[in-house]
Structures are given as structure tokens and as C-alpha cells.
Chains A and B, each alone.
Chain A
Amino acid sequence: MTDYLNNVDALAAHVPDGALMALPPEYSFVPMELVRAIIRRGVKNLNILTVPINGLAADMLIGAGCVKRVECAAVSLGEAGSAPRFSKAVENGTIDIVDSTCPAVHSALQATEKGVPFMPLGGIIGSDILANRDDWKVVDDPLGQGNGKIVLIPAISPDIAIIHSPLADRDGNVWIGRRRELATIAHASKIVLVTVEHIQDESLLANEKTAAGVLPGFYVTALTEAQMGAKPLGLVEHYPADTDEIATYARAARDDDAFAAYMQRVVFGTQEAAE
């Protein structure tokens, strides 16, 4: 059964030091309020997997010293530019970087979804991504059908997945709409922590229109309400991204002192101020 918790800090208590935590992409229901709670908790040595890319959440976690290793296809603030804390940490060698490519991240999670040890994936051969991946393996087409060499991507099973959503019901069902990568992440993860804008009494499965976009409750470990929980990122059909706030972050994060002051205000100040 899904645990219904009182607030994001209770949810953040589920994230242990050293966990492998999957983060959804910027446009896909990122639970920023929960990310701020994880930072407040002072979690250490996180192993971040961006699915397949991320921006603000990864950059804040890295800058706050919560992260030991990042596996990513990219970390970027999008139109606000590079992710300054990520770039600096890689340049200074203060985090371990494992470069991937978008479909390899998806494939690794799909392997776990299917309960198989690896997935084959086209392309990649001849890249320096592959040259730096001891865990990936190039084999000749094992079925001998003349397709040449192919890369095998081992399954990845994140310890923790974190998701924000507009809506849940009382049975742990969470509406994700067409953001199906959230389903893939959740299917592949051991613990799934969810924040939602609103919890409704009627089952999301009682209506075929909402049922088609549901992540079923049996994947969801714990859940809490967090209104405006994706801010300053957007939530489709609820609120747009706060591009001014993201730009403010991008500027602050270029400088150690300005970043510390920003985090003090937004993460460690009163929770409501984070809105």
C-alpha cells in the first residue's frame, strides 16, 4: 500500500545517503519541492541518473554537495544556458561523471522493466561515450542475421525515483498523462516517491480517460501533496515555467557565494518562500 505522508520532508526521509536516484527531464513533472527537501536533509553521496537529461534539480543537488556521481545524457538549464554547478563539478573533478546518450538511458530502464539483464541498442559504436563505458559491451549480432556489431546496455534499477504530478487518488494511483518516461522510471525503480498538486477521492481508474494516463499505485511507495511542487519549473496545463526565476538561479550558480546565498534563501528559508 502507498504511504500517504503529511509533507515533503517526510517523503525526503525515504532517501538514504548513497542512493541511486533517477531524475525525470525538465519538461516532465520534476518534483522541485521534494528536491529542495532532500537538500535540506543533507543527503550525501547520491548517485544521480538523469532520464535521460535533467537541469535545475541535478544542478542544485550537485552544488549543495549531495552528489558523488552523475550518469547523464546531458545536464542543461535549457534556454537559461549550461548548468553551472554541474559544469564546475565536472571540470574540478569533484563528482564522477559517466556520460551516456538518451536512448541508452531509456533502454537500461526498459531492460529492468522487462526483467532482462541488458538491451541491445543501435548506434554508439565509434563514440568516446562507448570508449569510456566499461559496463557496455559490443558484440557481433548474436542471431547471425547480418546486422553487424551491436552495443549491449546493462539494466539499471534505480533505488529511488522521484516524480511530481498534477493528480493522485486515494489508492496511490498517480496521473502522468503522456509523460510515459515517468512510468518507465517507476517500473524500474525500487522506491517511488511522488508529490502531487491534488489528491481526489474518486479513483483515477474509474474513468477510462484518466486511467490511460495512470501510474498504478502498486509502483508508488509514498505520496504527499505539494502544491506548486514543480516550481520554478512548469507543470503542463497548470503553470508555466518561471523563466525569470530560472535565469536568476543560472546567474547565481555561476558564483560560489551567490549560489550559497540563493540556496540559503530558496532551500533553507521558509518553505513557502520557495514558491
Chain B
Amino acid sequence: MSETTDYCDEEFLIAAISGLLSTDDVRHVAVGAASPIPGAAALLARKMRGGMPRVSLIHGKATNPFTDGGREIFDAAGQGRIDVFFLGGVQIDGEANINLVGTGDYPKVDKRFPGSFGSAHMYFVVPKVILFRPEHSRRVFVPKVDFISAPGVSDPDVRRPGGPKYLVTELCIMAFDASRRRFRLESVTPGRTIEEVQDNTGFEFDVPENVAETSLPTPEQLALLRSTVGVEVADTYPGFAKDVLGVAA
């Protein structure tokens, strides 16, 4: 195990996301399949906050509370019982539309990806959706997505208690303002620049006068990730816990 002041990219992202889960409105975080970084971030936030938020990992066993079939997570979210969910995107545009289906003309796309999963519902009903896409490039952050799996904003005649709040990438954290249909740069990864973010983003976004650096993982966070929290991570994501956090299942 390395010095606690050293950290890897994954640990940085885990800590960054964890910071977005530290407020009192975050009571229940649900994490979908194959999302070890958001899953670890939620478990870290829970440890740092002394047991809050509740964390439901849908591919866990004891960490998966759902007993009423695949529909339950969506029904619970539809009722407002889930406060935070994570979504990604093959493409994401400046209005926070996400594309999980493919690039090129639909349906015979140039490159097909798995599909929209539950995004077209969860994006509307979960109050704090965090978009997570480590790769920050113009390939991902496009002026307009080729296919809208789920739209970033809706007209007033559509019931929408939820939506995107943050975007987390390897370069930065952006906040989304639905009323302005725009992202705003919130913080930049230490060692990277605002210009670098702009150069690698295919849409326009707001840049405030003062942009902070994204916080680095603290020694306490790193210690927890590599011990007790890491063990919890290993329960659902054993490969990730072993390779990234050095914790055996």
C-alpha cells in the first residue's frame, strides 16, 4: 500500500463524487450495474457522514435491498424514495441530453452501444442525477447528441421532479442549471486548466470568474477507501477493490 498522500485517478474521482453526496438532501443513493467508482463514492460518503446516506447497490447481495423484482428500483424512484442516481453517456451535450444508444443515424447506427437502460425514467424522477463520464473529449461532449436516450430538460407540461445536477469527468466538475439549459464549470482537477476543459468540450458552458480546484482525496478518505470502505466495495465489486484499492474480498 502506498503513502496516503499518493492517490490514483479512480481514488480522486471517488473522493470528488463523494463530496457531492455530503449534503442533508442526500438520504438514499442507488447505484446501477458495473459502476464501481460511484458505488465506492457512495459507500465512502456514508462512512464519512456516520451512516447517511442509505446506499443501495443493485448488483450487491446484502447491499441490495430490493426484493420485489427489477421494477422496484424504478417504482421507488418514481415515488421519490431515491435521492441520487448516476448516469453516463456515449455522448452528452450542452443541454445535458444523454445518448446511451449509438452514434450515427438511428436505427442503423454507425456504432451501437447497449441501450438506454432505465435512463428515460430515472433522469426525470431522481432529484439529483450525477452524470459520470471519466473520458473528457469532444467525442463524448458533443454539440448535439445523435440520439436522446433521456433529455436534460423538459417543458413545463411534463412532470419532472428530477434531473441532472452535476457532471463529473477526469478534468472537471460542472453543475447543470435547468432553467438556463446550460452547464457551469464548478471546479477543475488540480494540474489541469480551464482552457483544457474548453478545448475538449464540444459545447459551450459558463465559466465563472473564480473557478476552484476540485478537492484532492484527504488522507482520511484514502485510508478508509483502502480499509473498511474498501471491504464494503469488495462485496459488490471484488475486481475493482482488489486492482484499484488493494483490498481483497
Contact = CB atoms under 8 A, between A and B. Distances in A.
A124 B69 contact: no
Interface stretch (A100-108, A159-167, A201-209): A100-108
A2 interface: no
A183 B69 contact: yes
Interface in A81-112: 82-83, 86-88, 90-93, 97, 99-104, 106-107, 110
A75 interface: yes
Given A90-B107, A90-B108, A122-B159, A74 B116 contact: yes
B111 A79 contact: no
B114 A91 contact: no
Interface stretch (B117-125, B174-182, B204-212): B117-125
A112 to B, nearest CB: 13
Label chain B's interface by main secondary structure.
Answer: loop
A73 B118 contact: yes
Interface in A167-183: 178-183
Interface stretch (A30-38, A127-135, A191-199): A127-135
A128 B158 contact: no
Contacts of B107: 90, 93, 97, 99, 132
A218 interface: no
Given A101-B119, A123-B123, A91 B101 contact: no
B134 interface: no
Contact of B120 (A82, A90, A124): A124
A51 interface: yes
A52 interface: yes
Chain A interface size range: 35 or more
B68 interface: yes
Interface in B21-78: 33-34, 59, 61, 66-72, 74-75, 78
Given A125-B158, A129-B149, A91 B121 contact: no
A148 interface: yes
A27 B59 contact: yes
A122 B125 contact: yes
A25 B118 contact: no
Contacts of B156: 148
B239 A91 contact: no
A124 B68 CA distance: 23
Nearest to A110: B71
B74 A53 contact: no
Interface in B135-149: 147-149
Contacts of B108: 90-93
A142 interface: no
A269 interface: no
A21 interface: no
B192 interface: no
B121 A121 contact: yes
Given A90-B108, A102-B70, A126 B118 contact: no
20 contacts: A25-B70, A51-B70, A82-B112, A91-B111, A99-B107, A100-B115, A101-B118, A103-B74, A104-B120, A123-B120, A125-B151, A125-B154, A127-B120, A127-B148, A128-B101, A129-B116, A129-B120, A148-B159, A149-B157, A180-B69
Given A90-B102, A129-B120, 9 more contacts: A73-B117, A76-B114, A79-B239, A83-B114, A88-B112, A101-B116, A102-B121, A103-B74, A106-B74
A-B interface, 6 closest residue pairs, ranked by CB to CB distance from nearest: A180-B69, A74-B115, A123-B124, A76-B114, A102-B118, A103-B74
